Structure 1
Amino acid sequence: MRTTTPVTPRGVQDEENSNLDRADSRFIRRRSLRLLGSLLRPLRTLFILTVALVVAAQAARAAGPALIAHAIDVGLPAAQDGTWVPTVVTGGIYVLAALVSGAATAGYVRLAARVAQAILLDLRQRVFRQTQRLSLEFHESYTSGRIISRQTADLDALKELLDSGITQLAAGFLYMTFVGISLFLMDWQAGLVLLVAVIPVALITRWFQKRSQVLYRISRVASARLIVNFVETMNGIRAVHAFRREDANNVTYSGLTEEYRHNNARTMGLNGIYDPALQLTGNVTVAVAMAIGAFRVLDGQLEVGVLVATLLYTKRFFQPVGQMAMFYNSFQSAAAALEKISGLLEEVPTVRQAERPVALPTASGHLRFEGVRFGYGSDAVVLPNLNLDVPGGQTIALVGQTGAGKSTVAKLVARFYDVTAGRLTLDGVDLREISMKDLRRAVVMVTQEAYLFSGTVRDNIALARPDATDEEIEAAARAVGAHEFILDLPEGYDTDVNKRGGRVSSGQRQLISFARAFLADPAVLILDEATSSLDIPGERLVQRGLQTLLADRTALIIAHRLSTVAVADRVLVMSEGEVVEDGSPEELIGGTGRFAALHKAWQDSLV
């Protein structure tokens, strides 16, 4: 017996847990680095050229003080003796170094922008493809607000770093390295002064890094919560207005914004300590270097030009530190964002294509449940042991109280979920072995929502078959009784339905979804509460379309309205995941079971 184990999305855990232990932190860091490496791999030539230009720019920039020292200690004495060649040559080299530094800087800024935009484009497309690829189980646990946060706030944080921050960090680090090396080569004693000063700088930076890393991770979570709350409120705006939740929602949102503000204030507070500490360390180091150098010049141990150069190098060494501190904030924010995105991209669909899928280009629609057991994650079992045979071409109605397992059966047939145990077959082939392309062609579900995308009526009907001709689209609409009302729309089939189909009524949306299903021509059609939101005239309109839609195909109809059940060949009454009654509508109505009681109650409600 084949079983599958539900997978808990790791990305959800990462999102909710900001206090990660050391092992988790290492795992997430490696995961983020793998993602970064995969993004840079196609751009390695451009990236290497960018790095080379950064190195050239900073090396040329660091040569300035050494050239000044040479001009003072060699060029000026030579000029006093009437020889201007050393001074002119040194000046020329200084100008050349400035030109090289400027040209290389312009080059790496342009190339870095190209690399950054290519990375963001690739990453944005990966996130979109991944969110479409993931199974329904993931989307039901990972809210739409979090997914939007990945595409907006997190990618914006990466954009802020990649646009300029990463090059500034790299340039600053290389410049400090070249300055330190130059200082040691020129005067090792002055280099020792700088080396001693690096110790408190490293300690201060480490202190800042540890605290800001935690705060930025918390800030990303707070930002995601803000977006989730906003998206859910806007999606449920009708319920908000209907139940007067505006004031309560304002209080909740204010609390979330206050939490976000508080976290940002704590981060800025760290900067208020870090930046002055760096400046103080740098100024003290320059003062010490100047005092020591002055005594050495007076003793004749040090040339004046070398003293000037060492002071310039010491001062310049600390200049990038402050700039790097500014961009380090962006780096921390981007690193936290990359953690979240890498977590999303490494999610594995719980419903996956078989390694060697079985082709099923044509299907008759014969469904069989063999000892099927299923439960949602760690929740209680919904279907304990379902055995059911549905011959091809038969229309089955599933009825029962809420929570009986009707919609779960539909989701398993559509393979939105895989069975936990047992087998579910189509024409004798386990659904898990059928190629996803063939399965999606063979099984189509029409839901209560009848979702329409922004675009024309024609585009929405052709959703399952984009290559369908206009004649085929109109034939599908005629078959389900939608052609007449479509022609009455302002632009007929070319009418834009607006967001979620707001330009047409509920009944018309449902008929358009029926036309879409008819055009797809599946072997198995699932109608999940497809008429429950319609009024009586709208339901009658849809019922006429159902007659054509259900012909010559296997159909599973899930409905609370028993008027919809009348078109079924067979009725299955479900309770607690089991079939407790099975028969034709006429047989069950004439009996004394649950369906007969449901039918009598429904008739009484119509009187």
Structure 2
Amino acid sequence: MSSMTGVAGEDNINLDKADRKAVRRRSLHLLGELVSPHRRLFALSVVLVVVSNAARAAGPVLVAFGINNALPALTGGDAAPLVLVGAAYAAIAVAGGSLLAAYTYVTARLSQAMLLALRVRVFRHTQRLSLEFHETYTSGRIISRQTSDLEALRELLDNGVTQLTSGVMFMLFTAISIVGLDWKSGVIILIAAIPIAFVTRWYQKGSELANRASRVVSARLIVHFVETMTGIRAVKAFRRERDNAARFDELAGNYRRATLRNIKYFGVLQPALNGIGNLTVAAVLLIGGFRVLDGDLAIGTLVAVLLATKQVFRPTEQIAMFYSSFQSASSALEKVSGLLEEEPTVVPPATPVPLKNARGAIRFRDAVFGYGDGRLVLPQLNLDIPAGQTVAVVGQTGAGKSTVAKLIARFYDLTSGSLTLDGVELRQLSNEDLRRAVVMVTQEAFLFSGSVAENIALGNPQASRGQIEDAARAVGAHEFILSLPEGYDTDVNKRGGRVSAGQRQLVSFARAFLADPAVLILDEATASLDVPSERQVQEGLQTLLGNRTALIIAHRLSTVEIADRVLVIHDGRVVEDGSPAELIAGSGRFAQLHAAWKDSLI
């Protein structure tokens, strides 16, 4: 299945019948996979719910026996039958309650085990998916899958399943006891079940669509909130507060209306079920009363049937109450199962070729690449980068510079052609060897929660504090780190530990240099640095890039000056290739870019 099929399908509330069945089968399959490791616990829960509700439903039968048989025996001087009935009633009450408590505990353990497995699975699977997926599937939707959708499942598994299953089993056993006591009264119950079935089916269809629509609107609301908060600088810079607030008001209003539609269905279902139940009790009492007068029905049996009839419809309110959460959880499960069905477009090889000591020689041969079904970004690229060479890549926006970098880092795979590292196809390298050999630093320097030292150590978790500090010195980050409140131990996300964009970039440089890769890619990595910081980093680069292959993608031509070689890319093709001095002396694109850059400095 293509990566985009599941994404499009899971949020579509207008699926046809066949697609809806396929989605439901997919969701049930996921549920089966979650239950499978806990089959014994699931089997125990089934036994407990059956036995406990059978015991609870036996009460009216004992009442009928007590009135019809034990009371006449008592009037004759024999109290034993009544004592036995009382003892039996007490025993089944204790047994039923104890078994129901045990069932609740077992199902809680089962639901929490399933939720833990699903939560971890969603997180690991989302990390495993390729960059193509994450550039299409917004972060807000992923957050929605991990939070609101899993929360809906938690509510259902923790409470809804227990109430629903117990209620259905109790209704079933109570109905059986009614039929056993008096089949004619059982017919009345069966007749009453017909309108209940119709009302329940009506609610099921309507609430299913309402809940699916509610989940979609909820996801859109979360997406808008996340995008607004993560892009708050742009929001304030372009005065988007009013427009964003209007959009949020619209989405929040849509969510309110979707929720009210669902409440409307429940508002009809609950009184309908209660009304049908009360009418059924009235019918049993009326018909049974005349039958008692005619001698066709014992008074004890009528009392027991009335008790059972009142009980048989008691769980309907609970079932109705939790049916809404069931529908919400079903919609959530559909979305989560859709996310888990996504497959990475960049997959590790089944039998990887080992590459322990990479040198860093890169070769493109007849390389063709395009994003998805769009136009080709690289029509046909042939390029050799010897090990240890520092190569600067320049060109207009959209020329394909960053695409070349992403292909070398294997964030994407070529559409056709060959891309090798030290003569080995990138597709044949294990993720461990590839990530050890190739490190990419982008303009978007991201620091994780934790100290500055921990962030630098991501490049080499086994590094000592001395190695961490040496890496920071090499890129010119040591001085500003020492100026922080707690130096290298400063938490970057706490007050006093905030760093500027340029300082974040320096930390990410130190992280990359500590990793000591064979190939280092800097994709617009100096764009957020001021001129003094850039010069400081360039000094570190000249020292540290001497023995490794480096690919520097930059608009700032000052960064290009340290390169051994410059590639000018235009429309996915290398149109100029030479040293900076050679290209500046010519009259091509790079010479024009360099002249324009020099003029901008005047």
Task: With the length of structure 2 as denominator, give the TM-score of the two structures.
Answer: 0.98
Residue 543 of structure 1, CA deviation: 1.4
Whether the 8 Å contact between 1:201 and 1:278 is mirrored in structure 2 is yes
| Separation in structure 2 between the aligned mates of residue 43 and residue 598 of structure 1, nearest angstrom | 65
40, 45, 49: which one aligns with 2:44: 49
Q: Distance in 1 between matches of 2:536 and 2:484?
A: 17
In the alignment, residue 201 of structure 1 is paired with which amino acid? I
Matched, 1:323 2:318: yes
Say if 1:18 and 1:218, in contact at 8 Å, map to a contact too. Answer: yes
Structure 2 contact 2–342 (Cα < 8 Å) conserved: no
Q: Distance in 1 between matches of 2:497 and 2:541?
A: 23
1:127 aligns with 2:119: no
Residue 101 (structure 1) aligns with: 96
Which residue identity lines up with residue 146 of structure 1 in the other structure?
Answer: R
AA aligned to 2:525 is A
Partner of 1:591: 586
Paired letter, 2:192: A
User: Residue in 1 aligned with 2:530?
Assistant: 535
Secondary structure of 2:239's aligned partner: coil
1:392 is aligned to 2:406: no
Equivalent pair of 2:484/2:497 in contact (CA under 8 Å): no
Q: In structure 2, how many angstroms separate the alpha carbons of the residues matched to 1:405 and 1:364?
A: 25
| CA distances 1:207-233 after superposition (whole Å, capped 9, x unpaired) | 110111111011100110110000000
Q: Which amino acid aligns with 1:221?
A: V
Q: Which residue of 2 aligns with 1:143?
A: 138
- 2:505/2:528 contact within 8 Å kept: no
What does 1:322-341 align with in structure 2 at a 5 Å threshold? 322-341=317-336
Aligned pairs for 1:470-509 (under 5 A) are 470-498=465-493, 503-509=498-504
- Tell me how far 1:452 sits from its aligned partner: 1.3
| Counterpart-to-counterpart distance in 2, 1:501 and 1:369 | 47
In the alignment, what sits opposite 2:27? 32
Structural mapping, 1:229-248, within 5 Å: 229-248=224-243
Question: How far apart in 1 are the matches of 2:46 and 2:363?
Answer: 61
- 2:515 & 2:81 partners in 1: Cα distance? 84
Cα distance in 2 between the residues matched to 1:268 and 1:509: 49
CA shift digits 1:303-346 (9 cap, x unpaired): 11111111122221111112101100000000100111111112
Residue 269 (1) aligns with residue 261 (2): no
User: Does the aligned pair in 2 maintain the 1:453–1:499 contact within 8 Å?
Assistant: no
Equivalent residue, structure 2, for 1:161? 156
Contact in 2 for aligned 1:456/1:494 (Cα 8 Å): yes
Query: Secondary structure of the residue that 2:532 maps to in structure 1?
Result: helix
- Bigger drift between 573-582 and 268-277 goes to 268-277
Show CA shifts across 1:78-99 (max 9, x none). 0111111110100000000100
CA deviations over 1:388-443 (Å, ceiling 9, x no partner):
11111111111000000000000000000111111111111111111111001100
Deviation at 1:480, TM superposition (A): 2.6
The one-letter code sitting in structure 2 at the alignment partner of 1:91 is G
Match of 2:343 among 348, 370, 377: 348
2:406 corresponds to:
411
| Cα displacement (A) at 1:369 | 0.6
| Residue range with higher mean Cα deviation, 182-191 or 593-602 | 182-191
Give the Å deviation of 1:364: 0.9
Give distance in 2, aligned partners of 1:569 and 1:362.
23
Partner of 2:446: 451
Kindly indicate whether the alpha-carbon contact (under 8 Å) linking 1:454 and 1:500 is maintained by their aligned counterparts in 2. Answer: no
Q: Residue 168 of structure 2 aligns to a residue in which SS? A: helix
Once the two structures are overlaid, the 10-residue window that deviates more, 406-415 or 470-479, is 470-479
Identify the range of structure 1 (177-186 vs 290-299) with the bigger mean alpha-carbon deviation.
Answer: 290-299
Deviations 1:495-519 (A, max 9, x none): 2122799622333222221221111
Q: Judging changes above 3 Å, is the alpha-carbon distance between structure 1 residues 238 and 463 closer, same or farther for their aligned structure 2 residues?
A: same
- Quote the Cα distance in structure 1 between the aligned partners of 2:497 and 2:601: 30
Residues in 2 aligned to 1:280 and 1:10: alpha-carbon distance in whole angstroms: 46
Letter aligned with residue 455 of structure 1: G
Quick one: distance in 2 between partners of 1:499 and 1:556? Answer: 34
Q: Deviations over 1:332-387 (max 9, x none)?
A: 00010011111111211111001111111111111111111111111111111111
1:270-304 residue CA offsets vs partner (Å, 9 max, x unmatched): 11211121122112222222222122211211111
**Aligned equivalents of 1:501 and 1:336: distance in 2?**
44
- Residue 560 of structure 1 pairs with residue 555 of structure 2: yes
Determine the C-alpha separation between the residues in 2 that align with 1:280 and 1:503. Answer: 63
> How much has 1:204 moved relative to structure 2?
1.1
Distance 1:240 1:477 in 2: 33
Mapped partners of 1:123, 1:500: distance in 2: 35
Q: Which residue of 1 aligns with 2:569?
A: 574
8 A Cα contact 1:7 1:377, kept in partner: no
1:12 alignment partner in structure 2: 7
Which deviates more from structure 2 when the two are superposed, residues 493-502 or residues 526-535? 493-502
- Separation in 1 of the partners of 2:582 and 2:354? 39
1:228 equivalent in structure 2: 223
Deviates more, 1:84-93 or 1:284-293: 284-293
The count of residues paired between Structure 1 and Structure 2 equals 602
Tell me if the contact between 2:485 and 2:497 (Cα under 8 Å) persists in the aligned partners. Answer: no
Read off the aligned partner of 1:554 and give its amino acid letter: T
Query: Given the superposition, is the C-alpha separation of residues 198 and 501 from structure 1 closer, same or farther in structure 2, using an over 3 Å criterion?
Result: farther
- Aligned partners of 1:261, 1:11: CA distance in 2, in Å? 27
Partner of residue 179, structure 2? 184
CA root-mean-square deviation: 1.5
Quote the Cα distance in structure 2 between the aligned partners of 1:199 and 1:9: 44
Q: Secondary structure at the match of 2:368?
A: strand
Other structure's SS at 1:397 match: strand
- 1:216 alignment partner in structure 2: 211
The one-letter code of the counterpart of 1:484 is E
Q: Which residue is 2:250 aligned to? A: 255
Moved more, 64-73 or 50-59: 50-59
Letter matched to residue 459 of structure 1: E
- Partners of 2:356 and 2:278 lie apart in 1 by 77
1:518 and 2:513 correspond:
yes
1:23 to 18, 21, 24: 18
Name 1:3's counterpart in structure 2: none
Match of 1:286 in 2: 281
Tell me the residue number matched to 2:81.
86
1:270 partner amino acid: Y
Q: CA deviation at 1:111?
A: 1.8
Residue 22 of structure 1: CA displacement? 1.4
* 2:423 is the counterpart of 1:428: yes
Quick check: 148-157 or 21-30, which moved more? Answer: 21-30
Amino acid at match of 2:486: E
2:289 and 2:361 map into 1 onto residues whose CA distance is 96
Residues 347 and 499 of structure 1: CA distance in aligned 2, closer, same or farther (over 3 Å): farther
Is the contact made by 2:3 and 2:344 (CA closer than 8 Å) also made in structure 1?
no
Q: What are structure 1's unaligned runs of at least 5 residues?
A: 1-5
Q: Distance in 2 between matches of 1:481 and 1:514?
A: 10
> Equivalents in 2 of 1:500, 1:428: separation in Å?
49
Cα separation, 2, equivalents of 1:542 and 1:453: 22
Moved more, 6-15 or 289-298: 6-15
Give yes or no for contact 1:233–1:240 (8 Å, CA) kept in 2: yes
Partner Cα separation in structure 2 for residue 269 and residue 506 of structure 1:
51
Structure 2 contact 378–571 (Cα < 8 Å) conserved = yes
Aligned-partner Cα distance in 2 for 1:290–1:533: 83
Of residues 471-480 and 68-77 in structure 1, the stretch that sits farther from structure 2 once superposed is 471-480
Mean CA deviation greater in 344-353 or 41-50: 41-50
Look up the SS of the partner of 1:424 in the other structure: strand
SS in structure 1 at match of 2:458: coil
| In structure 2, C-alpha distance between the alignment counterparts of 1:361 and 1:385, rounded to whole Å | 30
Please give the secondary structure, in 2, of the residue aligned with 1:141. Answer: coil
